[in-house]
Amino acid sequence: MKPGVLFFDPKDSLREALNVFIQARAVDWDLFFVTDLSQATEFAAHPSVHAVVAEAGPGILDLLEAAPNKPSAVVGEGAESDAFDAAFDWEDLAENLDEFLAGSFAPSGMPTYADLQRKLFLTQAEFAWRLAMAAEDRDQEHANHPIRVACTAKILARTLGLSEQYQDTIGLAAMLHDVGKLTIPKSILRKKGKLTEEELAIIRTHCLNGHEILSTPFPGSPDVEDERDNESVLAMARVIALQHHERWDGAGYPSQLKGEEIDLAARIVAVADVFDVLRCERPYKQAFPEDQAIDMIRDESGKQFDAAVVGALLESLPEVRQLIFSLADPVRSNAA
- Residues marked active site are found at 181
| DSSP β-ladder status, 72-75 and 30-34 | unpaired
Indicate the Cα dihedral angle 3, 21, 68, 172, nearest 10°. Answer: 150
- 3-class secondary structure for 16-33? HHHHHHHHHHCCCCEEEE
Q: Where are the alpha helices (DSSP H) in 60-112?
A: 60-66, 82-86, 90-101
The closest of 184, 252, 253, 242 to 215, measured between CA atoms, is: 242
Burial class for 103, CB neighbours closer than 10 Å (0-12, 13-18, 19+) = exposed
Q: Are 133 and 145 in contact (CB under 8 A)?
A: no
Q: Can you tell me the distance from the alpha carbon of 219 to that of 239, in angstroms, rounded to the nearest whole number?
A: 21
- The closest alpha carbon to 108, from 97, 121, 94, belongs to 97
In this structure, the chain runs to a length of: 336
Side-chain-side CA neighbours of 195 within 13 Å: the count stands at 18
* CA gap 33, 10 in Å, rounded: 9
Q: How far apart are CA 11 and CA 262, in angstroms?
A: 47
Alpha-carbon distance 264 to 208, whole Å?
18
- E-assigned strands of the chain? 4-8, 30-34, 51-55, 72-75
Q: Which amino acid is at 336?
A: A
